Amino acid sequence: MHLYCHIPFCVRKCAYCGFYSVYAPAATVAGFPELLCREFSLRNPDGEVPRTWYLGGGTPTLLGAEGLTRMAELFAPFFPVVGLEEWTIEANPADCSSAVIDAALKVGVNRISVGVQSFDDRLLADMGRRHTASVSRDLLRRLQSAGLDNFGIDLITGFPGETDESWLYTLEQALECAPKHISVYALSVEPHTVLSYRIGKGLVATPDDDQVMNRLKIATIMLNEAGYRRYEISNYALPGYECRHNLAVWHGEDYLGLGPAAASRFGDRRWTNAPDLKKYGGALASGEIPPAQSDIRLTPEEDAVERTLFRFRLGEGLDLTAAAAAFPVLADRLRAWDKVLRKLSAHGITEPIPNGWRLTPRGFEVCDAVLAELS
């Protein structure tokens, strides 16, 4: 199984962000690793050992050097934190001091994903980010000098005010920093955010779908030419540097999510913790499992569909023969999928692979519609 920890702290909210995070005093942040560890013991009584560990957020780097060291100390009795197949932390350039990097590498973190988002300072300011492009460049240089081989960056396209020129500049700068992994997300306007307020008031325009699609295409061309393989709709990596944790999730493996708002899929259950730090801490203080926002027990067929369908988000696609062997309950459905996917190939949306199908670049553009048709 794979372990995810949601670190739900942010100094302030970015204009577009729909993730659960809160501002909290230093003492609350310092005590948070204990809560995660308590939840881990309660959720994992059989002592399953994770293959990968991912600290996302929120802002994991707000834990600081002491918090990361504490995380490693607390979890070490449960599994070997040094030498995990992959241990990723998300880093905010605004909070990633050299002390944090040194502590992370010392305790066993072997992959860092940096929330760069853009190399355009005007856009970064409008997004409400606390860093500038030069802070990101400096952090990426420091990661290299610290000897970390496996680091990636996240970029967003489509924020109001972005131009084709600024997007090209961001991509060029990203390539110059030579990360091993680049995630490229199209902006999604989440409800109850500063951005949705600005759009609602007519202060800025909704992102133009065609423009965003065009910028994603430009990213695919430039990144492919630089040797990055698009292994998932929004993710590109140099060969061998794909994010193993996320790949495992997309491959349908079990993952346990700890922390408020964290999602889990374990056996035939899928649940999401309530996005409420107070209730989360209160429950764990009384030795109880934190309250869930949703908790669903899936039928064998629903479970198999969920573990299979995400393969279409991946460049590798779905091997129908392997899926039929792994999930006999899906036999009829896989035959029906085969027919639909064959039809879609006539429109350039799918293409055959040995024993199965994958989406083409055109297919990735309409992936949600394809998945809706299949599910």
**CA–CA dist 230, 241 (Å, integer):** 11
**Residue 201: Cβ within 10 Å count:** 8
**CA–CA dist 180, 189 (Å, integer):** 28
Is residue 15 a contact residue for ligand SF4 (CB under 6 A)?
no
Is residue 92 a contact residue for ligand SF4 (CB under 6 A)?
yes
Q: Which of 3, 5, 7, 14 binds ligand SF4 (CB under 6 A)?
A: 14
What are the respective helix, strand and coil percentages of the chain, to the nearest 5?
45, 20, 35
Is residue 19 a contact residue for ligand SF4 (CB under 6 A)?
yes
Is residue 113 a contact residue for ligand SF4 (CB under 6 A)?
no
Nearer to ligand SF4, 159 or 337 (CB): 159
Question: For 33-37, which contacts have Cβ atoms below 8 Å and span 24 or more sequence positions?
Answer: 33/63, 33/67, 33/70, 33/71, 33/74, 34/70, 34/74, 35/259, 35/280, 35/281, 35/284, 36/5, 36/71, 36/74, 36/258, 36/259, 37/74, 37/75, 37/78
Least Å distance, CB 19 to ligand SF4, is 5
Give the contact letters, 28-57, x = binds to ligand SF4 (CB under 6 A), - = no. -----------------------------x
Is residue 64 a contact residue for ligand SF4 (CB under 6 A)?
no
DSSP state of 119: S
Nearer to ligand SF4, 44 or 118 (CB): 118
Is residue 21 a contact residue for ligand SF4 (CB under 6 A)?
yes
Q: Which one, of 278, 344, 354, lies nearest residue 322 by Cα?
A: 354
Is residue 100 a contact residue for ligand SF4 (CB under 6 A)?
no
**CA–CA dist 263, 304 (Å, integer):** 18
Least Å distance, CB 133 to ligand SF4, is 16
Distances (CA, A) of 173 to 100, 105, 119, 271, 349: 24, 25, 7, 39, 32
Is residue 110 a contact residue for ligand SF4 (CB under 6 A)?
no
Nearer to ligand SF4, 15 or 81 (CB): 15
Is residue 58 a contact residue for ligand SF4 (CB under 6 A)?
yes
Nearer to ligand SF4, 44 or 157 (CB): 157
- Among the listed ranges 8-16, 179-187, 299-307, 310-318, the one in contact with ligand SF4 (CB under 6 A) is 8-16
Paired residues of 91 in beta bridges: 114
Q: Which of 10, 262, 277, 370 binds ligand SF4 (CB under 6 A)?
A: 10
Is residue 132 a contact residue for ligand SF4 (CB under 6 A)?
no
CA angle 115, 113, 368 (to 5 degrees): 75
**CA–CA dist 132, 213 (Å, integer):** 26
Nearer to ligand SF4, 64 or 115 (CB): 115
The residue ranges that bind ligand SF4 (CB under 6 A) are 10, 13-14, 17, 19, 21, 57-59, 92, 115
